[in-house]
Structure 1
Amino acid sequence: MPFRPSENVQSLADAIRPALGLGAAEAPPPGDLQFVVERHRVTFLLHHALQVSGSSNEQLLSDLTGIVQGKARQVLRQRAAAACVQALLDDRGIASVEIKGWQLGHILYGEETLRQSRDVDVLLRPDQVAEAIKATAEAGYTNIRGGPLKAGIAQAILRFHREVEVRDPRSGVIVELHSRSLENPPAGWSDATMLEAPLDLSNPHYVLYLILHGAGSNWKRLKWLADLAMIVQRVERDVMDQVLDLARRFQCLPAIAASLRACGAIWGEAFVDEWLAQAEPHMDEKRVQAHLQAFAAALNRESPLSAMELFARRLELMRDPPLFGDKPPSRIGAIGNRTAMWFLRRI
C-alpha cells in the first residue's frame, strides 16, 4: 500500500489517540509545536489527550495550555461572528447555514473547543449569494486584507471559486461565504439537503461532504483525518449505508475508500472495517491507490511546495486524482479559473 505516514505524523497521531477514544498514547508527540499548532492544527486534541492520559510532561502541558487559552478565545470570537452574520442574513431573508468550524467540534467531539478552526464557513443558496455579499458590505464587513468589500469583485470571484472571504469588522474573524459546498461538484449534487435538513451525523449528504472536503484537500492536515476517525465511530449503520450509496451514485467511492484506508493505517484500528467491507467490492482499486499516493504526499509534507512544483500545478502539469469519476476537470478551464482568481484578488 503506497500510504504510509511519516514518523512525525505517526507520533502525533499516536499522541492524540486518547482524545479520539482510541485508548492510551503509544509515543510522545513531536517536540515542534509549530508542527502541532499550525501544520496539523490539533492543538486542542493533543492538550486534551495529554490531560486524559495523565501525561507527566509538565513543560509540554504548560506550553500547550497557554496556546489553548488563546485559541479558546478565538473560538468565542468565531461564535460571536457566526451569530452576527447569521442575524444579518436572517434579517434579509437569506437562507444560510454554518458548516464545519467550531460547530463541527461539538458534533464530533462533544465540545466545540476540541476542534481548531481558522474561520467561519457559511453556506448560501446560489441565487442569494449576491444579496448576501451586498448585505455584508453594507454592514461594514471588509475584504480579507481589511480594505473595502467591493461587491462586484466578490461576485466575480464566485464565478471562478466556491467561496469569498470577508472579515468581521468587530472581531476580525474571517467569514467564508460559500456559493456551493464543493469546488467542482458532480452532476446531480445539490446542497439543498444541507440548507434544509439538520446538519449533524444523521444527514448522509453532510457526512459525505465532510469526507469529500478532506479527500479533496488530500488530507493534508491530521486534523481532518482525526475528524474522519470520529465520523466513522459515531455514524449509525443505516447512515453509513446511505453515505456509501451516495458515493457510488456520485462516482467518488474510490476516494472514500482510500480515505478510510488512510485513517485505518494511521491508527491501526478496526473501526474502519465495516465501512470498507461495504465499499471495497464496488470500486476501482487503481483509483484507490492513486488517491492514497496523493494523500501520503500531502500529509507528510513538512516544507512548502518548491517553485518547480508550484509552477507545474499552476499549469496543470501536476494534477491530483479526480474525486468524481476517472476524468479530472478541464485543464484549460482550471488554468483560466486560477488566472482569473489571481487577477481579482489583486484588485
Structure 2
Amino acid sequence: MEGISKELEFLFQLIGTDWRSNLERMELGEIDEEHFLELARHHRVYPILYHRLKSSSAQTSVSVLRRLEQKYQFNTFEMLRQSGLMERFARIFNEHNIRVLFLKGPILGADLYGDISLRTSGDVDLLIEVQHLEKAEQLLIDAGYEKDEYIKTVLNDWKWRHHHLTFFDESKKSKIEVHWRLHPGPTKEPSFGELWKRKRKSEITKYPLYFLGREHLFYFLVTHGARHGWSRLRWLMDIERLAQQDLDWIELQVILRKYWSEDVAGQALVLANKHLGLPLGHQMEPLVHGQRPKQLAKGAFYYMKQMINLHTEPLPEDVSTYHKQHMFALMSTQQKLLFMLSCLYPYPEDAETLPLPKPIHFLYFPLRPLLCVYRRIKV
C-alpha cells in the first residue's frame, strides 16, 4: 500500500467488506474530490459508492454525492437496456436452436449485489458453441449489428488464439461480444457442455436467461481479472462478493486444478483479503498457501496504484513490457509450455510478410523462424 494516494485508500475502504465501520472513521473532507471521482469512474465502482455513501450518516460532499448519483442513474438505465437486449437475443437464439450462456452484465449485478443497478457493464457478453458461430453472426447482422473485422487469421488459428467476435449497433450505442471460448488461447478450459450442465437461471427477465454455475463463475472471473491485471477494482469486488456465497470449495478446487488456475485464484483471494478485507476461511487456505499467490498479488498492485487502462491501445512501452512479463508469470508450468509451443504455429504476420496461395499455407510452419528473423532485421 506504500505510495498510494489517500483517495485510492479511501476507495479500498469504501468498497470493502467492512465498509460501514471504515466509513465511520473516515475524514472525507480531506480528499481531492476530482481525483476520487476519477478513480471511481476508472474502476467502475461508482454505483456501489453512491449506494453506500447515500445510506450512511457520514459527512459527504454534496458535489461528490450528486455527481455519483448522476453516474448511478445513467448506469441503472443502461443495465435495464442491457437486460432487455439479453432477453431479446436469448429468445432469438433459442428459436434457432442455439444454446447461450450470458457471462457478465446485469446478471452479475443481481447475483452478486442483489440489484442490477449496483454493477456496471459496458456490453453484453454471451457464450455459444463454436459450430453455431456463423448462424449467430447472421442473426446479429439481421438485427442491425455490424461485425468488427479485427481478427486476422492464418490456418484457422482464430479458433483457439481468439475467443470472441464483436458486433456494434452504432445507432443504439450497443455492443455485443459473442464468445466461443471463455479466454483467448492457448489454454485449457471447460467445454460448453460442461458449463451448460452446471448452469443457473437468472430471474432478472421473464424469459429465461442462463449463466454460469457458481464454481465455474468463480473460475471465469478470477482468470478474466488476472488476465487484465485486476486493473479495475470492479472485478475484485466481484470476487469478494462471490467468495462469500455458498460455494462448493472442494469442487471449485477440482475445477481450478483441472484448468491450471489455482495460482490466479490464490492471487485474487489474497488481493481481496488485503485490499477489500475478505475473510479467508479455512476452505480457502489451500489456494492462498505459499509465497506464489502473494507474489502474484504484489505484481497486480502495479496496475491498481497507477490507474492503468489496458483497453486503450497502443499501451505505453513500459506498461506493455510489464504486462507481458506479468502475464507470463501468471501462467502455470503447463501453460508456459503450451504458450511456447504455440509460438511455433504460424501467425497472420507471417502471411503478411510473405503472401502465399492458400493451398500451400502449410509452408508457413517451416518458414516461420526465417520470417521472424526477417521482420526483426527489417525493423
Q: How high is the TM-score relative to the length of structure 1?
A: 0.80
Using a 3 Å threshold, how does the CA distance of structure 1 residues 186 and 156 change in structure 2: closer, same or farther?
closer
Q: Which residue of 1 aligns with 2:330?
A: 322
- Tell me, what secondary structure is at the counterpart of 1:321? helix
CA displacement, residues 29-51 of structure 1 (integer Å, 9 cap, x when unaligned): 762222211x1000101001102
Distance 1:93 1:241, change over 3 A: same
Is the contact made by 2:108 and 2:116 (CA closer than 8 Å) also made in structure 1? yes
Kindly indicate whether residue 65 of structure 2 is the aligned counterpart of residue 51 of structure 1.
no
In the alignment, what sits opposite 2:71? 67
Could you tell me which residue of structure 2 aligns to residue 165 of structure 1?
A: 166
Shift in CA distance, 21/175, structure 1 to aligned 2, threshold 3 Å? farther
Structure 1 residue aligned with 2:184: 183
Q: For residues 71 and 345 of structure 2, what CA distance do their matches in structure 1 show? A: 39
Q: Which secondary structure does the structure 1 equivalent of 2:177 belong to? A: strand
Deviation at 1:22, TM superposition (A): 4.7
| 2:247 maps to 1:247 | no
- Is the Cα contact below 8 Å between 2:231 and 2:308 reproduced in 1? no
Contact preservation (8 Å) 1:121, 1:178: yes
SS at match of 1:68: helix
Q: Which residue of 1 aligns with 2:375?
A: none
Counterpart secondary structure, 1:245 = helix
Which secondary structure does the structure 1 equivalent of 2:240 belong to?
helix
Count of aligned pairs between the two proteins: 325
1:268 aligns with 2:266: no
Counterpart of 2:296 in structure 1 is: 291
Q: Distance in 2 between matches of 1:56 and 1:311?
A: 41
Deviation per CA, 1:120-139: give whole Å up to 9, x if none: 10111111112211221233
Distance 2:301 2:227 in 1: 13
1:68 maps to a residue whose letter is Y
Answer whether contact 1:71 1:116 (CA < 8 A) is retained: yes
Match of 1:23 in 2: 20
What percentage of residue pairs aligned between the two structures are identical? 19
Deviations 1:49-77 (A, max 9, x none): 10222333222111111121112111122
1:76 paired residue among 77, 80, 95: 80
Q: Which amino acid aligns with 2:135?
A: E
The change in CA–CA distance for 1:272 and 1:335 in structure 2 (over 3 A counts) is farther
Task: Tell me the SS of whatever aligns to 1:132.
Answer: helix
Structure 2 CA distance for aligned equivalents of residues 234 and 129 of structure 1: 33
Unaligned runs of 5+ in 2: 201-210, 354-379
Distance in 1, Cα, partners of 2:40 & 2:92: 35
Gaps of 5+ in 1: none
RMSD of aligned residue pairs (Cα, Å): 3.4
C-alpha spacing 1:132/1:36, structure 2 compared with 1 (3 Å): same
Q: Say which SS state the counterpart of residue 118 (structure 1) adopts.
A: coil
Using CA pairs under 8 Å that are at least 6 residues apart, name the structure with larger relative contact order, 1 or 2.
1
- Higher deviation after alignment, 116-125 or 128-137: 128-137
Superposed displacement of residue 150, structure 1: 10
Q: 2:243 aligns with which of 232, 235, 242?
A: 232
Inter-CA distance 41–302: structure 2 relative to 1 (3 Å threshold) = same
Q: Deviations over 1:242-300 (max 9, x none)?
A: 1122222333212211211111111335x22334323345xxx4532442232111222
Following TM superposition, the consecutive aligned residue runs of length 4 or more in structure 1 with deviations greater than 6 angstroms are 149-153
| Rounded Cα–Cα distance in structure 1 between residues aligned with 2:273 and 2:325 | 31
User: Shift of residue 208 of structure 1?
Assistant: 1.6
For the Cα contact (< 8 Å) 1:104–1:112, is it kept in 2?
yes
Shift of 1:313: 6.8
Letter in 2 for 1:322: L
The one-letter code of the counterpart of 1:175 is I
